[in-house]
Amino acid sequence: MTATFTRLAVYCGSATPADPRYVELASEVGDTLARKGIGVVYGGGKVGLMGAVADAALAAGGEVIGVIPKALESHELAHRGCSELHVVETMHERKQAFTDLSDGFVTLPGGVGTMDELWEAVSWAQLGYHSSPVGLLNAFGFYDELLAFNHKMAAEGFVREPHRGIIIDATSIGELLDKMANAAPIKTVLQIRSEDL
């Protein structure tokens, strides 16, 4: 059965890399989601890839919900043009809001914060804290090494067999959305017998 998405959390960097392809990719993602009627939930920033996603989605008439910690909002980094802007106290509250407000996750190229968000979404999926698909947009080969490392963790026995496919990867946003929409539910840690853990 193919899933339909109301909103997707988009994880990406607040940096603006020298290579313009990354900002163009972020704009394409925002535009594509809006044109498909899928709302964007993101980190609430106006700079870098974050700002590019939001601006493109808004320009295409899409819903954009920003979630930003108060510390960043007070540094005037918040995007005031969002459909909704939620200001929270902590990073944990921010990530919880991403999960609560969306029915899937799309990770674009980014840095440490993006990795934190991606791996928490994966970890929570393993544990059954959410059942939403976790997508990784591996444009320009950016995540080749990360995907290889994920396979290594599985090969060494640190990722259980039912969880090897949690990260759904593709090189284009269209392909990624299709794969996420058709992803099968995973068996969570809580559904696995203790002797099989």
**Per residue of the chain (197 residues), what is the pLDDT tens digit?**
566 899 999 999 999 999 999 999 999 999 999 999 999 999 999 999 999 999 999 999 999 999 999 998 877 689 999 999 999 999 999 999 999 999 999 999 999 999 999 999 999 999 999 999 999 999 999 999 999 999 999 999 999 888 999 999 999 999 999 999 999 888 887 676 554 54
Q: Are 44 and 12 in contact (CB under 8 A)?
A: no
Q: What is the CATH number of the domain that holds 153?
A: 3.40.50.450
75 part of a folded domain: yes
Residue 16 lies in a domain: yes
Work out the widest C-alpha separation in the chain, in whole angstroms. Answer: 52
The answer to whether residue 67 sits within a structural domain is yes
Q: Give the number of domains in the chain.
A: 1
Asked whether residue 124 is domain-assigned, the answer is: yes
Helix, strand, coil percentages in the chain from 3-state DSSP, rounded to 5: 45, 15, 35
* Residue 21, in any domain of the structure: yes
189 in a structural domain: no
Segments forming the whole domain that contains residue 27: 9-182
